[in-house]
């Protein structure tokens, strides 16, 4: 466990709204080891993007600790934080809005290296930009192109090249493939995994797409309304989902299978309730089929098998619901 690159302890992020405190991330803890991937899944509004941004200190932390390689960065000043920013990067969801339309590809990829003064000469910088373009599979003829001239898949490759420029060891991938078509999505996923193998980068992979998260993650965390409901190794979570919400989420994924025309499974009813000043207790309870009195109490994560944690009072020690 000493290989932990990032450790998050009881992280909270509240937003102040006119209606009250919005609990975007509420008491979330996890650890990511070097070269591993933590997948974070949940539906829109569950706080997964906020979590990613708070971990990188792109948003101030309300409470809790973010420990990067043994150093608590949750309260560092901007100046002291700067060296850490180099090593912790983010790939954004939308390759259309995350690139400056008035900069060429060369400028976009070079910018982080210029700011951090990593290259000694202009020729050196140029060489580095071209190498990075090779690494992410972008043809060098695009070096003077502008983002609008390229399609979504290529733009996302620029986003990745820019992030790799400073050789980070931790990258938050915030839905990096959701805006892409499946065939391009597969190309980008392969690229991210190749980079991880070669450079030993740790990813926090945020997505709502369960098949993508299974494919890329070592460990998966399921979020609902700012809470972590279940954490488990990837295979274990898909083989043996325990929390009622995880089960519902998995059953709602439609695989391209044979013989299931017209077969749409019954999934959870209702919608996510408001995250502003939520009641204590399980936040999934209003939609849950197994709801009981104990659900009104705050839920704690408990370990039901090695590495498999679940926050549900109806789950017994053996992982069965209702025992």
- Residue ranges in contact with another protein by CB under 8 A: 43-44, 151-153, 181-187, 189-190, 193, 208, 210-212, 214-216, 238, 248-269, 271-272
At residue 268, φ and ψ (nearest 5 deg) are -55, 145
We find the least distance from the C-beta atom of residue 216 to another protein, in angstroms, to be 8
We find the least distance from the C-beta atom of residue 308 to another protein, in angstroms, to be 18
Residue 315 DSSP class: B
Cβ 85 vs Cβ 79: under 8 Å: no
| Residues in contact with 213: Cβ distance below 8 Å, sequence separation at least 6, in sequence order | 39, 40, 41, 205, 207, 220, 234
Count of H helices and E strands in the chain? 9, 12
Instruction: Provide the 3-class DSSP secondary structure of residue 65.
Output: strand
Instruction: Provide the CA 7 distance to its chain's centre, in angstroms.
Output: 14
Q: How far apart are CA 310 and CA 305, in angstroms?
A: 10
State how far the alpha carbon of 255 is from the alpha carbons of 73, 110, 190, 239, 251, in Å.
Answer: 41, 41, 20, 15, 10
Looking at the Cβ atoms of 154 and 308, the one nearer to another protein is 154
Cβ 99 vs Cβ 158: under 8 Å: yes
Please measure the distance between the N-terminal and C-terminal CA atoms of the chain and give it in whole angstroms. Answer: 32
At residue 258, φ and ψ (nearest 5 deg) are -90, 145
Instruction: Provide the 3-class DSSP secondary structure of residue 228.
Output: strand
Looking at the Cβ atoms of 272 and 291, the one nearer to another protein is 272
Looking at the Cβ atoms of 151 and 303, the one nearer to another protein is 151
Looking at the Cβ atoms of 117 and 269, the one nearer to another protein is 269
Please count the other Cβ atoms lying within 10 Å of the Cβ belonging to residue 208. Answer: 16
Looking at the Cβ atoms of 145 and 268, the one nearer to another protein is 268
We find the least distance from the C-beta atom of residue 20 to another protein, in angstroms, to be 19
| Residues in contact with 97: Cβ distance below 8 Å, sequence separation at least 6, in sequence order | none
Looking at the Cβ atoms of 85 and 287, the one nearer to another protein is 287
Looking at the Cβ atoms of 76 and 184, the one nearer to another protein is 184
Looking at the Cβ atoms of 20 and 265, the one nearer to another protein is 265
Cβ 165 vs Cβ 130: under 8 Å: no
């Amino acid at each position: 466990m000493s290989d932990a690159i990032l450790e998050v302890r009881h992280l909270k992020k509240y937003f102040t709204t006119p209606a009250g405190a919005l609990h975007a991330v509420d008491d979330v803890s996890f650890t990511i080891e070097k070269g591993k991937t933590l997948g974070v899944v949940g539906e829109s509004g569950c706080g997964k993007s906020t979590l990613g941004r708070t971990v990188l200190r792109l948003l101030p932390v309300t409470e809790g600790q973010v420990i990067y390689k043994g150093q608590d960065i949750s309260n560092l000043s901007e100046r002291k934080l700067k060296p850490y920013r180099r090593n912790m990067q983010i790939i954004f969801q939308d390759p259309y809005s995350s690139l400056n339309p008035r900069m060429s590809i060369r400028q976009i990829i070079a910018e982080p290296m210029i700011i951090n003064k990593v290259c000694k000469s202009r020729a050196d910088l140029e060489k580095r930009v071209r190498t990075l373009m090779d690494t992410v599979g972008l043809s060098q003829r695009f070096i003077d192109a502008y983002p609008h001239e390229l399609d979504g898949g290529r733009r996302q490759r620029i986003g990745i090249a820019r992030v790799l420029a400073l050789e980070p060891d931790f990258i938050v991938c915030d839905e990096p493939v959701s805006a892409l078509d499946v065939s391009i999505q597969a190309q980008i996923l392969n690229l991210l995994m190749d980079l991880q193998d070669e450079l030993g980068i740790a990813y926090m992979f945020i997505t709502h797409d369960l098949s993508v998260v299974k494919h890329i993650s070592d460990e998966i965390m399921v979020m609902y309304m700012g809470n972590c409901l279940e954490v488990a190794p990837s295979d274990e979570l898909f083989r043996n989902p325990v929390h009622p919400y995880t089960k519902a989420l998995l059953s709602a994924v439609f695989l391209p299978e044979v013989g299931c025309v017209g077969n749409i499974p019954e999934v959870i009813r209702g919608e996510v309730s408001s995250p502003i000043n939520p009641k204590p207790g399980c936040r999934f309870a209003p939609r849950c089929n197994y709801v009981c009195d104990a659900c009104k109490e705050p839920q704690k994560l408990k370990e039901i098998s090695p590495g498999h944690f679940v926050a549900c009072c109806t789950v017994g020690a053996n992982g069965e619901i209702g025992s």
